[in-house]
Amino acid sequence: MSKITIAIDGFSSTGKSTLAKQLAKELGYVYVDTGAMYRAITLFAMRNSFIGNGEERLEDLVKLLPKINLRFVPNAELGFSEMYLNDENVEKEIRTMQVSKFVSRVAEIEQVRYKLVEMQKNMGKEKGIVMDGRDIGTVVFPDAELKVFMTASPQARATRRYKELLDRGEDVLYKDVLENVEKRDFIDSHREFSPLRKAKDAIEFDNSDMGLKEQFERLLSIADRFI
């Protein structure tokens, strides 16, 4: 069976990663969470005080971009890959609300996008990949055989994200999570370089009222038509 490229894009907290990960496992494909890459660069910027705490020195971040090494390292026990920033496992730290607050600002920077898109294209050279993000079907793999665009109401998405953060032990308020989801969507879809858009040939997938099992079955049956 020949392998294809599957691009999954959509708004924040639509559950893209969970579904994409499951689909990749089922098909024996590689899974890449591109949001983790933008989050890791944001963490680097925050640690160096290039952003956060009222500061913004993003030109200094751009200067240091060549020194930032990102890698996905498979964790056999967990069954998925974890994000390493300059050889440090940052998988947990990149998922915090603090990083979510600043990531869309960092993702607007043209040089950041250029660096990450190049890496992502390389990862997909052999096909057999499920990649999720905001610009996968439009910029990274415009020729992907299957493109899915996920949507859900802001409330449904904020509720999911809120539960996820509470489960991880973060002390957050629902209203702050909702505000963050809406703000990121706005910045992501209005930025100058590769804004979040549904590719013309993407299949729209609204999962506001669907449980995980139903979402997965539907996505798998869509994928089966393309493989």
Which contiguous run of DSSP H or E holds residue 119? helix 110-123
CA atoms within a 13 Å half-sphere pointing along the CA-CB vector of 124: 27
- Cα–Cα dist 181/158, whole Å: 6
Binding flag, residue 34, ligand C5P (CB under 6 A): yes
Is 104 labelled a binding residue? no
Among 35, 52, 124, 137, binds ligand C5P (CB under 6 A): 35
Compute the least distance from the CB of residue 35 to ligand C5P, in Å.
Answer: 2
Distances (CA, A) of 40 to 66, 77, 112, 131, 220: 14, 22, 11, 17, 30
The single residue among 81, 104, 138, 215 that binds ligand C5P, judged by CB under 6 A, is 104
Within 10 A of 64 (CB to CB), how many other CB atoms are there? 13
| Contact status: 91 vs ligand C5P (CB under 6 A) | no
Q: Which is nearer to ligand C5P, 29 or 141 (CB)?
A: 141
Residue 165 CB partners (closer than 8 Å, separation 6+) = 97, 172, 177
Q: How many residues bind ligand C5P (CB under 6 A)?
A: 13
- Cα distance between residue 72 and residue 85, in whole Å: 9
Which residue type, as a one-letter code, is found at position 122? N
15 binds ligand C5P (CB under 6 A): no
- The reply to whether 43 sits near ligand C5P by the rule CB under 6 A is no
CB of 39 to ligand C5P, least distance (A): 6
Confirm or reject binding of residue 180 to ligand C5P (CB under 6 A). Answer: no
Q: Mark the segment that binds ligand C5P (CB under 6 A) among 23-31, 47-55, 131-139, 206-214.
A: 131-139
* Footprint of ligand C5P (CB under 6 A): 12, 34-35, 38-39, 103-104, 107, 133-135, 184, 188
Residues comprising the binding site for ATP? 10-18
